[in-house]
Structure 1
Amino acid sequence: MDFNNNNVEIPNLGSALAINALDSIPNTKPDAKQIVALVKKSGRITGYQLSDGNIVSKEQGVALAKSGDIASVGIAHRKDTEYLKSIPDGTDDNNLSNLPTV
């Protein structure tokens, strides 16, 4: 945690900025899947492998996350394209960028 000039604890600025970069953080269902690997083509993410073994496209992943079927991710966008981002939780191990590629 960081502290302001009055020695009052404030949330980590990096986490706050990362959360603010998300368009939305969906409410997840109790049986929501986790993303366990990324599907890439020419270095770009094109899909996700889920904890049940299914592989979904990037667009399908966004739709599933919006409906609460994928946990620990938020929705962000670049230009007209929506994509998934990890919700900051203080650990880097589970960030999407640290997952293996299939």
Structure 2
Amino acid sequence: MGNRQKDTELTAALAKNTLDEIPRAKANASKIVGLVKHSGRIDGYQLSNGSTVSKEEGVRMAKNGEIKGVGVAHRGETEYLKSIPDDSENNNLGSLPSVSG
């Protein structure tokens, strides 16, 4: 295994350690395709099924396996969603477009 692959795996492992929970997604789970922002802060998520949910609802849905590709983290008392680290930058939440909610 090359050093580059080891570095990538170490980075992914460290990033996963920042997640409080990585829920198991159901087969019919939606993906997050857009971020609802107000004043630069994420307030909600647009899902692949066309619906838009609040940040709190998104966390609840992810915990119930209804959103795939994300884990739950927290800052202070506030829970939020983060992408599960992998080799692709394209599916990171921060790379998604902003949408109106």
TM-score of the superposed pair, with normalisation by structure 1: 0.90
Counterpart in the other structure of 2:98 = 101
TM-score of the superposed pair, with normalisation by structure 2: 0.91
Q: Does 1:19 align with 2:16?
A: yes
Report the CA distance shift for 1:47/1:11 in structure 2 as closer, same or farther (over 3 A): same
Q: Secondary structure at the match of 1:60?
A: helix
Q: Quick one: distance in 2 between partners of 1:11 and 1:37?
A: 26
Counterpart in the other structure of 1:87 = 84
| Misfit runs of 4+, over 6 Å | none
Q: 1:13 Cα deviation (Å)?
A: 1.6
Q: Quick one: distance in 2 between partners of 1:87 and 1:35?
A: 12
Structure index of larger Rg: 1
| Deviating more after overlay: 9-18 vs 78-87 | 9-18
Which of these residues, 21, 25, 30, is aligned with residue 27 of structure 2? 30
RMSD: 1.5
Q: Secondary structure at the match of 1:71?
A: coil
Unaligned runs of 5+ in 1: 4-8
Count of equivalent residues: 97
Q: Quick one: distance in 1 between partners of 2:38 and 2:31?
A: 21
Unaligned runs of 5+ in 2: none
Which is helix-richer, 1 or 2? 2
Which of these residues, 39, 46, 49, is aligned with residue 49 of structure 1? 46
Q: Is the 8 A contact 1:38 1:99 kept in 2?
A: yes
Report the CA distance shift for 1:49/1:17 in structure 2 as closer, same or farther (over 3 A): same
